[in-house]
């Protein structure tokens, strides 16, 4: 399996991601995020990829949420992209850190105002007695920031998954699927193929 690297996994990811943007009917940046809690219980949910590069894959969320509690206890995650129209998946695994305040501020500032207000109104992952409570909180946030910029809430920000493994899976005829695995070794990557 260990061979000299023949390609850069980030270049391959970019090529597949560009194709997914062209072919997926919606949300080519949607990815499943798997975390584990302190008791070892895994859980998974969808989030949106909002930035990526050699240093990792970034998503934004509420830092009081269930996934945030998992990541505080076990700061590692798995990501999965499934681009159905291309019959491809990409798996990413590695340690997770917070994005910097400057990075989270910049992304928050780029969001629509309603999304910004929603971040103030949402107590993500907490029980909600009635939908109206959320709407009331949204209205209160709107009134609070009336006429000015909406700052990033202290409980909202980015997380970066720094990949140690990236696996590309491509459907092939007769179920002879192709799996290409990149494993980080220091600053470089070892590449190999896996049996489907
Ligand atoms: C396609 C899709 C994209 C989503 N993107 C995000 C996201 O980027 N950030 C986020 O906090 N929740 C996102 N959600 C909602 C999450 O799946 C989840 O319901 C929420 O974050 C609470 O998860 P938790 O209770 O495990 O923390 C998305 C849901 C879907 C279906």
* Model pLDDT for residues 71-113, shown as the tens digit of each residue: 999 999 999 999 999 999 999 999 999 999 999 999 999 999 9
CA–CA dist 57, 161 (Å, integer): 5
Give the pLDDT of residue 51.
97
Task: Locate all alpha helices (DSSP H) within the chain, ordered by sequence.
Answer: 9-23, 66-73, 101-110, 113-121, 131-144
175 annotated active-site: yes
Span 30-39, mean pLDDT?
Answer: 98
How far apart CA 86 and CA 170 sit, in angstroms, is: 8
Phi-psi sector, 147: left (phi>0), alpha (psi -120 to 50), beta:
left
Q: Which atom of ligand 1 is nearest to the CA of 50?
A: 8
Hey, whose CA ends up nearest to atom 14 of ligand 1? Answer: 47
Answer whether 35 contacts ligand 1 (Cβ < 6 A).
no
User: pLDDT for 107-139, tens place per residue?
Assistant: 999 999 999 999 999 888 888 888 899 899 999
Are residues 138 and 149 in contact, defined by beta-carbon separation less than 8 angstroms?
Answer: no
- For residue 3, give the DSSP letter: B
Is there an atom of ligand 1 within 6 Å of 27 CB?
A: yes
pLDDT of residue 5 exceeding 80, the answer is: no
Does 45 sit in the ligand 1 pocket, CB within 6 Å?
yes
Q: How remote is the CA of residue 90 from the centroid of ligand 1, in Å? A: 19
pTM for the full model?
0.93
Q: Which of 113, 175, 179, 180 is catalytic?
A: 175
How far is residue 161's CA from residue 67's CA, in Å, rounded to a whole number? 13
Q: Which has the closest alpha carbon to 66: 122, 1, 133?
A: 122
């Amino acid at each position: 399996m260990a061979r000299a690297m023949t390609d850069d996994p980030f270049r391959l990811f970019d090529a597949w991601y560009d194709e997914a943007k062209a072919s997926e009917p919606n949300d080519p940046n949607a990815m499943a995020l798997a975390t584990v809690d302190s008791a070892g219980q895994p859980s998974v949910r969808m989030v949106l990829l909002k930035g990526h590069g050699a240093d990792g894959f970034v998503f934004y969320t509420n830092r009081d949420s269930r996934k945030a509690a998992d990541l505080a206890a076990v700061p590692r995650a798995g990501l999965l992209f499934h681009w159905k129209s291309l019959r491809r998946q990409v798996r990413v695994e590695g340690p997770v850190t917070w994005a910097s305040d400057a990075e989270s501020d910049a992304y928050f500032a780029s969001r629509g105002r309603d999304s910004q207000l929603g971040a103030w109104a949402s107590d993500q992952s907490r029980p909600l007695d009635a939908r109206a409570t959320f709407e009331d909180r949204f209205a209160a946030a709107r009134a609070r920031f009336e006429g000015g910029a909406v700052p990033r809430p202290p409980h909202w920000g980015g997380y970066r998954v720094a990949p140690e493994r990236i696996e590309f899976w491509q459907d092939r005829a007769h179920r002879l699927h192709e799996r290409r695995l990149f494993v980080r070794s220091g600053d470089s990557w070892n590449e190999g193929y896996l049996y489907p």
